[in-house]
Amino acid sequence: MCAVVRLRYGGVSVIEIEQILRTRIAPDEVLLRVEAAGLDRGAWHLMTGRPYLLRLAFGIFRPRQRGLGREVSGTVLDVGAAVTKFSVGDEVFGIGAATFAEYAAAREDKLAHKPANVTFEEAAVVPISGLTALQGLGEVGRLVAGQHVLVLGASGGVGSYAVQLANAYGAEVTGVCSLAKADFVRSLGASHVLDYTRTDFADGTQHYDLILDLGGNPGVLRLRRALTPEGTAVIVGGEEGGRLTGGMGRQLRALLLTRLSSQRLTTMLCKERSEDLDELAGLITDGTLTPALDQIYPLERVANAMGDLEAGKIRGKSAITAARTRSRIAS
């Protein structure tokens, strides 16, 4: 099969397209014909190997797994002996391994049936970003209807879902993004939009019950200034930290400071659960949630897609599709 691989960490120049053996599945996995794969910020981190702390899990000097990509939507071609939820021919979406490829394996407990009212490309950009938004607002952020919610990074992958979900749950939502993406964030349901280049969300004019910090880099004290006395800040990531720990250093400081305050400063890791994917599928089916798909790239242009993501050109998410590659090989 045709797949995106890299043999070392680095920029987009490390990406290669190779013909490799089709992946094998374990008893609890299904084999998917990949119709589309989502491109999230995590794929960029795994390509670059930054922050360096990640390499403890994924390979210190070179990546243990050559493939890239985790979000996926596709058609089930084969099922493992222990799989009971899916059958051959089912259309599914969720989280797999090395999904920038024509075929990929995925565990049964990290998949859900694809909503019929969206395309494969739209479904592919939901899993990790949608789960992070869902859990960050609810399970971790403990959102209550009527609260004032601030979403930092509102135009990004997770932010585009967080704005929609917070609005649907009855919150008054303020999104922070660039001026060029303000109309996009308003279209997602934000009542207010702040241009981060012109307006300081922590200037004291408004205080928020819940702040979802998605890949920004404000100091912990700035987050505290923007919170109500008993408000909660959920720090999901950070792209401007040092090469060693990235945003994780800021997260650790937040966890230490929260012990000394009535405000709650916390962080989270996305839990990859099929039941939460089922919930997202239901929200998409009833029209509450719309996948924020911006660009679609063929498999051969993954490097371009990574470059556009790094440059901040994408509103919401991008999808990678192997359809053109598969068609060319078949002909």
My answer on whether omega of the bond before 298 falls inside 30° of 0, hence cis, is: no
Which residues, 6+ apart, have CB-to-CB distance to 295 below 8 Å?
305, 308, 314, 318, 319
Q: CA–CA distance from 45 to each of 9, 199, 216, 253 (Å)?
A: 9, 29, 15, 22
pLDDT tens-digit readout, 49-59: 987 888 888 89
- Of the two residues 220 and 106, the one the predictor is more confident about is 106
**b (16+ CB within 10 A) / e for 73-84:** bbbbeebbeebe
d(CA 241, CA 228): 26
Specify the length of the chain in residues. Answer: 331
State whether the Cα torsion 204-206-211-216 is positive or negative. Answer: negative
pLDDT score recorded for residue 51:
79
**Stretch among 8-22, 139-153, 218-232, 252-266 having the lowest mean pLDDT:** 252-266
Longest CA–CA separation in the chain, Å: 65
Q: Which of 84-88, 89-93, 141-145, 236-240 has the lowest mean pLDDT?
A: 236-240
E-state strands within the chain: 2-5, 16-19, 29-39, 71-79, 91-95, 103-107, 111-113, 148-152, 172-177, 192-195, 208-213, 227-235, 264-267, 293-298, 317-321
Closest to 230 measured CA to CA, from 263, 191, 272: 263
The burial class, CB within 10 Å (0-12 / 13-18 / 19+), for 240 is exposed
DSSP assignments along 20-60, one per residue: -PPPP--TTEEEEEEEEEEE-HHHHHHHHT-SGGGHHHH-S
What confidence score (pLDDT) does residue 56 get?
Answer: 85
Rounded to whole angstroms, the Cα distance separating 251 from 88 reads 43
- In eight-state DSSP terms, residue 116 is T
Q: How confident is the model at residue 331 (pLDDT cuts 50, 70, 90)?
A: very low
Rg over alpha carbons for the chain, rounded to the nearest Å, is 20
Look at 17-21, 79-83, 97-101, 256-260 and tell me which has the smallest mean pLDDT: 256-260
- Token digits of residue 4: 């995106």
